[in-house]
Chains A and B, each alone.
Chain A
Amino acid sequence: MRVSGSGPGSMRLRLLLALAALWLSDANEPGTAMTTRDINQQTRESISDYTVKGHDLSTPGSHLSTQDFNQQIEENISNLTSAMYSISIDGFSSAPVEENVTLYSPANITLLCNLTRTSTDSATVEVTWKKDNERVESRNVTINEIKNVWSTQYTLKIRDRNQMGNYTCVFKSDQEVQATFHLQVPQIEGKEHHIVSYVGDSVVLVCKSLKYIPINWIWYMSNGSDQVAVNDSLMPDKYIVDEKYANITKLKILNISEKDDTSYWCQAVFKLGESKGKVSLKVLTYMTPLKPFLAIAAEVIILVAIVFLYEMYSKKKQMHAEDEKEFEQIEQLKSEDNNGVENSTTRHRKV
């Protein structure tokens, strides 16, 4: 949509826009560049009630911020969750801003982009929305300008995975600036470090999705470059999948062999798509820890032997010295016996 500032028709449009701006300005707080945490929108006839929890990104120049928005379930007319997510762009010269939006179930979404414009910028701005780099229809798009803030809204209904993707709002005048919302399903975290196990042993691989409960879990294992599903009903004495709790899945692998030394993927199936977490398994033989074990045991034996040998050596020296001492004592006693008793108490003994 293109707005320019000349001609009679455009006057009417401008009036309309001004009215719309006034009307919207009750709800929005103009001039604060949307830094408020909770944005409460008043009830209007056409637009249903929202409460948004989460805070928007208003730091210019920051790139991939991975703030997740939590959706709050509220009663509204269409009986579906509604939420609004917004990005504020601070002028045409800022770098592209990105936002990650985690969606768990079907909802009505409003994406809002606010561009703060300086007085030196030109009055005409072209605003477009793109989904995955393709332009979208403009019937769900509204654009307005309040003081120095150009804002554009895109409402969409998320029903299934087709609506998930990257949505970009583009502001273009002399320069171009854009912001992107990444709509995605909840991410699953696997384990960064590999799990170590031994040949013939069994191991349990765990994947968790704590905040959001998936509909289903599927396990895959990497076979070269592709991923093969792990079928626990086909091989029940090799793989056991434990699903005691819906948000934790455990894959127990029995009788491990060297072939099991690959990465495993746990896939969580949500209404709006799937996401995977990676757990890698490393298989060792019993020989591997044996080498350090033998090295340390050998060190212990050597040290103990050294200590004992040193002790025997120093004892021998001590005994030798004492034998000599005693020998001297005996000699002296003998000589005393021969010489008589009179000198006994005043004798000086050699030490």
Chain B
Amino acid sequence: MSPPANTHLAYTPPDGGWGWAVVFGAFISIGFSYAFPKAIAIFFKEIQDFFGTSYSEIAWVSSIMLATTYGGGPISSILVNRFGSRPVVIFGGLLCGIGMISAAFCTSILQLYICVGVISGFGLALNLQPSVIIIGKYFLKRRPIANGLAMAGSPVMLSTLAPLNQFLFDNFGWRGSFFILGAILLNCCVAGALFRPIGMAADPVQKQTVKQAEKTVKEQPNNSSVEMVPPRAVSLLSGTEEEEEDKDCCEKFNKYLDFSLFKHRGFLIYLIGNVLMFLGFFAPIVFLAPYAKHLGIDEYSAAFLLSILAIVDMIARPTTGIIANSKWVRPKIQYFFSFSIAFNGACHLLCPLATGYTGLVIYSVFFGLAFGMVCAMLFETLMDLVGAARFTSAVGLVTIVECCTILLGPPIGGTLIDTFGDYKYMFIKCGAVMVLAGTFLFIMNYYNYRMLAKEERERKATEETMKDNKHIRTETEDGNIWAKEKMQDGPEVEPLTDEKEGLKKEVNGKSEV
């Protein structure tokens, strides 16, 4: 099994060790980001009575929160590119906490929109993207499993937050509950603390060796000093100088948010397919309970359908991660993703056939399965296409574009239900859109795989010719080129073999001089 094309990372991700602590942190962060806007709906009835507003005005709180969480993606990406995941997540957790605490003292619905919707929503945005990004930095071979486990945070948190919110509400009222939820959201800071930086310039060990190198070079300005310091440091020194000269403002901005991704074939395929998919993704969940009640099922059984969905979802996500990591699926993971989207669509298309409670239970089980499969691989496939280095910017750009369709999906479904008076058209629309998206992704990814295979062959051919020409070049030039190639994400944590090579080169250089 070969790793997916081009991680563009200059180091080997650990694939374990501290990575599992990072997965746990991501589990919590992602869980809060997805589950919190939904779980907060428990307070709406009381707040609606308190402020004397209609239900739709209250429901805007959830929509604004969701919109800010997705819309804040690019800003999140820029901040992560600049500062790394950890400070961004800790700041995001603080922002969430402050937002909810100030919401406890709100006196109007507008203030609620700002405190809960905008501030906390933005804090969650600063939680969601960095969590997903750092998984790509810590895992490569086991990345699908890590992604599946981290995304499982969403149903687990929802199942925990819903009864917890009810308990808090019964004992403390909505103001007290918001106050305490502010403290609970501060736990995102703990998740952030677990996101130890890796492969970043802020590595103090590297800094120290660079300083050492600088010192010794100044003190003994002759060639023999070169081998008294670790060869790494020298390459760092020369490398960084060269790098700064080459950058102009366009490249500098691209370092923060990589707009060149819009020329990336895989990225565009993913974007179009996902935008199409999200039109029909969330509406069935929103309307499942009302549909059940419409068929004459009582409220508690209807709510139980959602619980079934959540439980199946919880199990499906890590399982999908494990399946996606197997050697048969991993190389063709994009096909698996398209299949799960089409499967999801097929479930919705068959839903109108379910007329009784048993039929709806079966639908919920399959829907939960399909939903979990798609969510588990949502970010894994993007990482697979663009590589972990450019993933930071990719996730920001994808979320802000998806933001629009996510918000449009349920209202369009609602309009269909109101116009035709029947839920089945909404299900047919969602199913059709998702089957279309799945088919589109399947065909386009087939094309993409072929093009990637062709490019790989061409790349190997040029590499062969380069190797032949290598020994003609001078040693120092070679050293610098080697350093520059590896400098894409800052100095790397080198495996042992590179060090050995470097050492040899320096010694050879010295010998020639």
Which A residues lie at the B interface, using CB under 8 A? 193, 195-198, 201, 203-204, 206, 242, 250, 284, 288-290, 292-294, 296-297, 300, 303-304, 307-308, 311, 315, 318-319, 322, 326, 329-330, 333-334, 336-337, 341, 344-345, 349, 351
Contacts and interface: CB of A to CB of B under 8 A. Distances in A.
A193 B45 CA distance: 14
Interface stretch (B169-177, B397-405, B412-420): B169-177
Nearest to A308: B193
B407 interface: no
Nearest to B204: A315
A206 to B, nearest CB: 6
B50 A203 contact: yes
Contact of B49 (A204, A300, A315, A341): A204
A345 B224 CA distance: 17
A345 B504 contact: yes
Given A206-B49, A303-B190, A303-B193, A344 B173 contact: no
Given A330-B228, A337-B224, A288 B190 contact: no
A303 B175 CA distance: 26
Interface of B is mostly: helix
B187 A300 contact: yes
Contact of A204 (B52, B229, B503): B52
Contacts of A315: 204-205
A315 B500 CA distance: 23
A331 B189 CA distance: 44
Contact of B194 (A250, A292, A307): A307
B13 to A, nearest CB: 17
B189 A318 contact: no
A319 B205 contact: yes
Most chain A C-beta atoms within 10 Å of own C-beta, residue among B209, B230, B496: B230
A195 B171 CA distance: 9
Contacts of B511: 341, 344
Interface stretch (B69-77, B178-186, B316-324): B178-186
Nearest to A322: B205
Given A304-B190, A307-B190, A288 B170 contact: no
Nearest to A292: B180
A17 to B, nearest CB: 46
Given A297-B186, A351-B496, A311 B172 contact: no
A263 B43 CA distance: 22
B299 interface: no
B54 to A, nearest CB: 13
B286 to A, nearest CB: 25
B189 A296 contact: no
Contacts of B187: 296, 300, 303
27 contacts: A195-B173, A196-B171, A198-B173, A198-B175, A204-B49, A284-B173, A289-B180, A290-B179, A292-B180, A292-B183, A293-B179, A293-B180, A296-B187, A297-B183, A300-B186, A300-B189, A300-B190, A303-B193, A315-B205, A319-B204, A329-B503, A330-B228, A330-B229, A333-B227, A334-B228, A341-B507, A344-B507
Nearest to A296: B183
A319 B171 CA distance: 51
Given A198-B175, A204-B52, 15 more contacts: A196-B173, A197-B173, A201-B175, A204-B50, A293-B183, A296-B184, A297-B183, A308-B193, A315-B204, A318-B205, A330-B228, A333-B228, A337-B224, A344-B504, A345-B508
Nearest to A244: B52
Contacts of B224: 337
A198 B177 CA distance: 12
Interface in B122-136: none
Interface in B24-44: none
A171 B69 CA distance: 72
A303 to B, nearest CB: 5
Most chain B C-beta atoms within 10 Å of own C-beta, residue among A193, A250, A329: A329
B332 interface: no
Nearest to B176: A289
A351 B209 CA distance: 18
Contacts of B180: 289, 292-293, 296
B205 A304 contact: no
A133 B404 CA distance: 70
Nearest to A194: B170
Interface string B226-241: 0111100000000000
B486 interface: no
Contact of A289 (B49, B170, B179, B504): B179
Contacts of B429: none
B175 A304 contact: no
Given A196-B173, A296-B183, A297-B183, A329 B230 contact: yes
Interface in B149-182: 169-173, 175-177, 179-180, 182
Contact of A293 (B182, B208, B209, B228): B182
Contacts of B170: 193, 196
A17 B97 CA distance: 82
B176 A326 contact: no
B196 interface: yes
Interface in B475-513: 496, 500, 503-504, 507-508, 510-511
Given A206-B49, A304-B190, A196 B176 contact: yes
Contacts of B508: 345
Contacts of A195: 46, 173
- Nearest 7 A/B pairs, CB to CB: A196-B173, A289-B176, A296-B183, A307-B193, A303-B190, A300-B186, A293-B183
A288 B193 contact: no
A304 B90 CA distance: 10
B101 to A, nearest CB: 8
Most chain A C-beta atoms within 10 Å of own C-beta, residue among B187, B193, B504, B510: B193
Nearest to A197: B173
B193 A296 contact: no
A284 B172 contact: yes
B179 to A, nearest CB: 5
A294 B101 CA distance: 12
B461 to A, nearest CB: 31
Nearest to B193: A307
B172 A288 contact: yes
Contacts of A319: 204-205, 208
A188 to B, nearest CB: 17
Nearest to A345: B504
A304 B171 contact: no
A324 to B, nearest CB: 13
Contacts of A337: 224, 227
A258 to B, nearest CB: 15
A198 B507 CA distance: 77
Contacts of B496: 351
Interface in B202-245: 204-205, 208-209, 224, 227-230
A195 B176 CA distance: 12
Contacts of B186: 296-297, 300
Most chain B C-beta atoms within 10 Å of own C-beta, residue among A292, A318, A341, A349: A292
A266 to B, nearest CB: 14
Nearest to A198: B175
B188 to A, nearest CB: 9
B498 to A, nearest CB: 14
Contacts of B193: 303-304, 307-308
Nearest to A297: B183
Nearest to B506: A333
A1 to B, nearest CB: 46
A351 B183 CA distance: 48
A178 to B, nearest CB: 34
A319 B503 CA distance: 20
